[in-house]
Amino acid sequence: MDKLLLMFQLQAELNESTNGPDWTSGITKNKKVINWRRCIYMECAEMIDSFSWKHWKNIDQEPDWDNLQIEVVDVWHFIISLAIENYAQTLRGTVDTLALNVAQLKSFEQINTSETAFATQDEIIAKVEELMRISLDKGDLKLEALFENFFDLVLMSGLNLETLYRLYVGKNILNQFRQDNGYKDGSYIKVWDGQEDNVVMKIIWEENSDIKPDMLYRELTKTYLAFTKN
């Protein structure tokens, strides 16, 4: 419950920093429409590209499991955002209420495990496409179903609550770092010395198992400055 609540709080803070204090109304501080559902299904499409699903191209290529996990975390950002927005607009409650309700879902209890294994490519793609169907539904948002299927995907992608939390916090800090270093105006450089910043962030986490979020930000800053000075 503590990890879940912290992730929701961090996402709310990032959205407010990026989009303004009224972001749950569906409009940014720059008067652009926010569409979290579209964010979800577009990110899901990128997730599918972790696999060699094209029958005419790279048919023997191995799945990119590391990229899959990063894309799962990216989708998680948008699902949290959509849920917070929905709770605000329907007056269902605060971020704390949302976290409490999600923590009671059976599928959330299942990801609190120490053992995980990758499912097959076809099983994962089918689950991802189910998330896309839910997000594309023009009717009332099936929020609980979205969470249930996402937590299924977490396990199928070789993740659990602890690894989801670590990668989420890492990506959240990276997203804030991007915003602070020119992501919106296009000056930010996403590939650092041949490695995408996602990968750099993941390596820093893996090499420093006890690293705190503020220290991760400082490590990203140090690495980025060293790269951009060359």
Q: How confident is the model at residue 18 (pLDDT cuts 50, 70, 90)?
A: confident
Give residue-wise pLDDT tens across range 207-229.
Answer: 887 777 788 889 899 888 888 87
Instruction: Quote the pLDDT of residue 213.
Output: 79
Is the predicted pLDDT of residue 109 greater than 70, yes or no? Answer: yes
CA distances to 31, 54, 63, 71, 181 from 59, rounded to whole Å, are 44, 7, 10, 21, 38
Query: Which of 107-121, 155-169, 202-216 shows the lowest per-residue confidence on average (mean pLDDT)?
Result: 202-216
Is the predicted pLDDT of residue 230 greater than 70, yes or no? Answer: no
Longest alpha-carbon distance in the chain: 52
**Single pTM value for the model:** 0.84
Q: Which residue has the higher pLDDT, 175 or 153?
A: 153
Is the predicted pLDDT of residue 120 greater than 70, yes or no? Answer: yes
Instruction: Quote the pLDDT of residue 154.
Output: 95
Delimit the domains of the chain by residue range: 2-165
Task: Name the nearest CA neighbour of 19 among 4, 35, 7, 6.
Answer: 35
Query: Which of 29-33, 60-64, 140-144 shows the lowest per-residue confidence on average (mean pLDDT)?
Result: 60-64
Instruction: Quote the pLDDT of residue 89.
Output: 94
CA distances to 12, 52, 104, 119, 185 from 159, rounded to whole Å, are 23, 21, 19, 11, 34
Is the predicted pLDDT of residue 1 greater than 70, yes or no? Answer: no
Instruction: Quote the pLDDT of residue 20.
Output: 92
Give residue-wise pLDDT tens across range 65-97.
Answer: 888 998 999 999 999 999 999 999 999 999 999
Place of tokens 């329907």: 90
Instruction: Quote the pLDDT of residue 56.
Output: 84
Q: Which two tokens stand for residue 110?
A: 């299942």
Pick the CATH number of 2-165 from 3.50.50.60, 3.40.50.2000, 1.20.58.220, 1.10.4010.10: 1.10.4010.10
Round the average pLDDT of the chain to a whole number and report it: 89
**Percentage of the chain modeled with pLDDT above 90:** 51
